[in-house]
Structure 1
């Protein structure tokens, strides 16, 4: 491993944030909480999608893939927890460092694009319910998800082929993607990272806002009297926008600013802000189950059956018959 690890002299600012309790205590605490909450929630969601609801609508296809993306990230969080708790000392080799980093980036990109797909599907089902029946098919949803996975993996190729571990002799540690001294990035800063932010954040964010604005405006029509559909759509909109603004917005902003100012005096401080925002972005794995809850009435029913064990399937069917038609249909 020593032959593969880049050795470099690090500035005092970098040494300070690598020793900071924000990275050695706060970050592992966040990852631990996310792991303990997100893993059972997303595993339960996958089981419900596959065994109970079954994958029969485009919305379920997108939500199932979102849950899978979260699981792939969460199962690797123990590596991050050990790394941060050990004083940012990576002992698992260059290959594992690249793998964990690539999975983290793929999760964020997949989450953003899948949430955008859910917003588009919701918009079409509400604003153009009849016209979109031919477009909104399960097979096309799977094609969209396959494209999203391929694009997300391709976006992380520069990380996969770059050296990400750096030996810090001053602290006697090896860090994993925690400094700006990565080989292979120097010639692709501006073009790669500006395209990256545009494709994986700005454009999806604009599309999502447009879709939910149109959805809520359509649901505000006096013709729709029931509050069930309105409340679920508003809840879905708030959750998704919260993830965009709080989880993914700061991460992508600092990501771009860091690489545009990597050689500036404040570049190291910008990178520290990026690392912290990336840590906070992992909270999205805990918020995604709220999307499933708001996005599928059947998901709500089966969650209710798990929590209230005394309720039988017949009870749910009887209750389901009392609900509005659109709610029973899982719109």
Structure 2
């Protein structure tokens, strides 16, 4: 029995080091990629289009995730938590918020592309900066409202279970509560929306196969939807569905590591979503090439 305990401790130590490496790599890649993307979006693309507004907020969501990771790296590298329980709770909230806000913003980008391709004329009154900002405000409000009861639940559960460490939520009641089902319901619903949007856009582009004047860069359009579906199925869905499995708590940290990688891939979404991503908007306009986000 002692030998098994020693073996388990050694395995946990190796896994913790692996987690620290993964989270550290996400910081190294995610911070400059999203910071540069945010700078380009703000500096070279005006916030007068709904797509750019959603992408700016997606980049902000990713940056909030990245700034929460250094303490995770410290915890998994040293095995100790020097801050308070509330600090642990709010860093955890930043992580969960990224999954929720990113999934919603990515879905908004998909819906914006859907309206631009399938209903280009009828959707113009919907795809306005004003409506985009209202939608963004509702998303952040929703995220904050969910955080309030969640933070109380995590605080009470950790204290009741005498957990002395951070992020390692071993007790089932920490993962399985009525509040924990908000995220999987949200992610599954948004995944369904993305699937329907992908099918509708694919059918429309197939019908307009020879009508390049109406829909430019068809390959880029489908790449956007393919990337969005990959984000959901690979990064958001597994960690969200873990609450439905009794053994899920043993894989929770591993799935959190996987979910954190999504912030490193979002800049590719900006690149394929905006024609002339590296150019100023006015340069693209004068070149005669219509940006994709104006479809």
TM class, shorter-chain normalised?
0.7 to 0.9
Structure 2: how far apart are the matches of 1:201 and 1:149? 16
Report matched runs for 1:274-293 at 5 Å: 274-293=252-271
Asked if residue 180 in structure 1 is aligned to residue 173 in structure 2, the reply is: no
Structure 2: how far apart are the matches of 1:151 and 1:168? 29
Structure 2: how far apart are the matches of 1:290 and 1:17? 39
Greater RCO structure (CA 8 Å; 6+ sep)? 2
Asked if residue 53 in structure 1 is aligned to residue 45 in structure 2, the reply is: yes
Counterpart of 2:24 (choices 8, 26, 32) is 32
**Preserved contact between residue 224 and residue 272 of structure 2 (Cα < 8 Å):** yes
**Preserved contact between residue 35 and residue 77 of structure 1 (Cα < 8 Å):** yes
**How much has 1:131 moved relative to structure 2?**
0.1
Structure 1: how far apart are the matches of 2:141 and 2:170? 27
Cα RMSD (Å): 3.0
Asked if residue 73 in structure 1 is aligned to residue 65 in structure 2, the reply is: yes
**How much has 1:330 moved relative to structure 2?**
4.6
> Partner of 1:94 in structure 2?
85
Structure 2: how far apart are the matches of 1:79 and 1:244? 26
**Preserved contact between residue 53 and residue 132 of structure 2 (Cα < 8 Å):** yes
> Partner of 1:272 in structure 2?
250
Counterpart of 1:236 (choices 224, 236, 258) is 224
Asked if residue 248 in structure 1 is aligned to residue 236 in structure 2, the reply is: yes
Q: Equivalent residue of 2:217, what SS?
A: helix
Report matched runs for 1:106-125 at 5 Å: 106-125=97-116
Structure 2: how far apart are the matches of 1:55 and 1:18? 51
User: TM-score, normalized by length of structure 1?
Assistant: 0.78
When residues 26 and 209 of structure 1 are mapped into structure 2, their CA distance, relative to the original with a 3 A threshold, is same
Aligned residues: 287
Structure 2: how far apart are the matches of 1:135 and 1:26? 46
**Preserved contact between residue 217 and residue 292 of structure 2 (Cα < 8 Å):** no
When residues 17 and 276 of structure 1 are mapped into structure 2, their CA distance, relative to the original with a 3 A threshold, is farther
**Preserved contact between residue 216 and residue 233 of structure 1 (Cα < 8 Å):** no
When residues 136 and 327 of structure 1 are mapped into structure 2, their CA distance, relative to the original with a 3 A threshold, is closer
User: TM-score, normalized by length of structure 2?
Assistant: 0.86
Structure 1: how far apart are the matches of 2:202 and 2:9? 44
**Preserved contact between residue 297 and residue 330 of structure 1 (Cα < 8 Å):** no
> Partner of 2:135 in structure 1?
144
When residues 159 and 22 of structure 1 are mapped into structure 2, their CA distance, relative to the original with a 3 A threshold, is farther
**How much has 1:73 moved relative to structure 2?**
1.0
Asked if residue 205 in structure 1 is aligned to residue 191 in structure 2, the reply is: yes
Asked if residue 214 in structure 1 is aligned to residue 220 in structure 2, the reply is: no
Q: Equivalent residue of 1:76, what SS?
A: helix
Structure 1: how far apart are the matches of 2:285 and 2:95? 41
Structure 2: how far apart are the matches of 1:229 and 1:137? 22
Q: Equivalent residue of 2:168, what SS?
A: coil
Q: Give the structure with the larger helix fraction.
A: 2
Structure 2: how far apart are the matches of 1:140 and 1:59? 11
| 1:242-288 Cα distance to aligned partner (Å, 9 max, x none) | 1111111110111x224xx3xxxxx4xx2021221111100000011
| 1:282-322 Cα distance to aligned partner (Å, 9 max, x none) | 000001101111111142436xxxxxxxxxx97x777x33x
Gaps of 5+ in 2: none
Structure 1: how far apart are the matches of 2:75 and 2:279? 40
Structure 2: how far apart are the matches of 1:18 and 1:65? 41
